[in-house]
Amino acid sequence: VEVAHPAVFVVALTHDDEVVLVDLYRYTTGRWSTEVPAGSTDGEDALVAARRELAEETGLEADEWTRIGGMSSLNGICDAPEHVFLARGLRAVAGDAAATRATQAEEGIARVRRVPFAEVLAMIGRGEIVDAETMAAMLHVAVHLGRVR
């Protein structure tokens, strides 16, 4: 089984070493989930899709983009390629804030927050972040930044 389009995961890092996370309700599990911005490429180039997802889910855009790597977290049940990006130089998207909030509501996003990088790792350790793709994306970025070996 192959998914129609690959997915993208964005670890957006502020100048203060904070990761931008979204909190959303996952109906499939019946629980709230804290995640990095992510979504389908919808047939777009992965970087184009990553930029779109960051803007739609957080209202932010980034000056600097680095493709960190790929992963396949669902390889036991399907072929679902995933791309991980690091986004830096964050700023608010120019335009209609109400439209951004409407898109977030449509996506089921209840909150966007900035959490220190080390605290995100601690949240994973405490079981507060359980989304496997978010955990894998954070590990990719932590290795890239030399914070784990």
Question: pLDDT tens digits, residue range 69-81?
Answer: 999 877 888 888 8
For the residues 54-70, what does the mean pLDDT come to? 96
pLDDT band at 99 (very low <50, low <70, confident <90, very high): confident
Q: What angle do CA 26, 29, 35 make, to 5 degrees?
A: 45
pLDDT of 48 reads 98
| Dihedrals phi, psi of 99, to nearest 5 degrees | -65, -40
CA-nearest of 23, 46, 45 to 36 is 23
**What tokens appear for 78 in the block?**
């399907």
Task: Determine the Cα–Cα distance for residues 115 and 119; give it in Å rounded to an integer.
Answer: 6
pLDDT of 32 reads 95
> In whole angstroms, how far apart are CA 68 and each of 28, 82, 83, 95, 113?
28, 11, 8, 29, 22
Least confident piece of the model among 50-54, 60-64, 90-94, 102-106: 102-106
146 phi-psi bin (left φ>0, alpha ψ -120 to 50, beta other): left
pLDDT band at 3 (very low <50, low <70, confident <90, very high): confident
CA-nearest of 124, 102, 143, 145 to 34 is 124
pLDDT of 20 reads 98
What average pLDDT is seen over the chain?
94
